[in-house]
Amino acid sequence: MINLYVATRVLTAMGAMLRAFWEQLVCRICGIPAEDVRVFKVSELCGHVEHELTENKKQTFLICFLPFVLNFILSVCFLLGGAYKIVYVGDLKTLTGYLFFWLGISFAANCVPSFEDVLSFKDFFYSKDSNIVLKVILAPFFAIIYGFSILERYSLTFVAAILFAIAFPYIFSYLFPAIVTISQMVS
C-alpha cells in the first residue's frame, strides 16, 4: 500500500512539493521545530513535513488550514485554465491546457493535511472544554479534512482530484454563467 501511496505522490510531485513548502513555512512562522523536511520519503509521510506536535490551537489551525487553502486555491486557478479548455470546451490540442490540468490535479490531490495533524486538530478543537460555537463553525472544515485525510491514507485523493477536475468546469459554469459566456465570446 505504501508503494501505491508513494507512486501517487510522484505523479503529483508538484503538489506534494508545494504542500511540503507550505507546511515548512507555517512551521517556521509558528516556531514549530521540523524534524524531517524531505518531501519524497518511502513512507506514509511522503509529501509531508515531519514536525513536532503543535502546542496550541493557533498552531494547529494554521498547520492544517493554510496549506489546505493555498493548495486548493492554486488548484482552482490551474483548473480554470486546464480543465475548462480540455473538459468543457473540448480543446484537446493545447499543451498548456494539459499542463494546467495536471497541475490542478496535482495541487488538489495534495491539499489535505496529514492524518496526524487532523487528529491533533480534533484533540485541540473538539475536546470537552472547547467552545461549542467554535466547534460548530469549524465542523465543515474538520469534516472535509478528516474525510479526505482518510482517503489520502489509501491514495484515493488522487482519484478524487481527477473527479473534481472533470466536474469543476461544469460546477464553475453553473455558479458563474456570465463569466463563462464572456470567455466563450472572447475565444
- What residue ranges do the domains of the chain occupy? 2-179
What are the C-alpha distances in Å from 101 to residues 15, 22, 71, 81? 12, 21, 14, 7
Q: pLDDT, tens digit, for every residue of 62-111?
A: 999 999 999 999 999 999 888 888 888 788 888 998 999 999 999 999 99
Residue 108 and residue 75 in contact, taking contact as beta carbons nearer than 8 Å: yes
Question: How far is C-alpha 28 from the geometric centre of its chain's CA atoms?
Answer: 20
Angle (deg, nearest 10), helices 13-30 and 95-109:
50
Q: State how far the Cα of 144 lies from the Cα of 29, in Å rounded to an integer.
A: 25
pLDDT in tens, 112-128: 998 899 999 999 999 88
Scanning the structure block, which residue is given the C-alpha cell 495536471?
102
pTM of the predicted model, to two decimals? 0.87
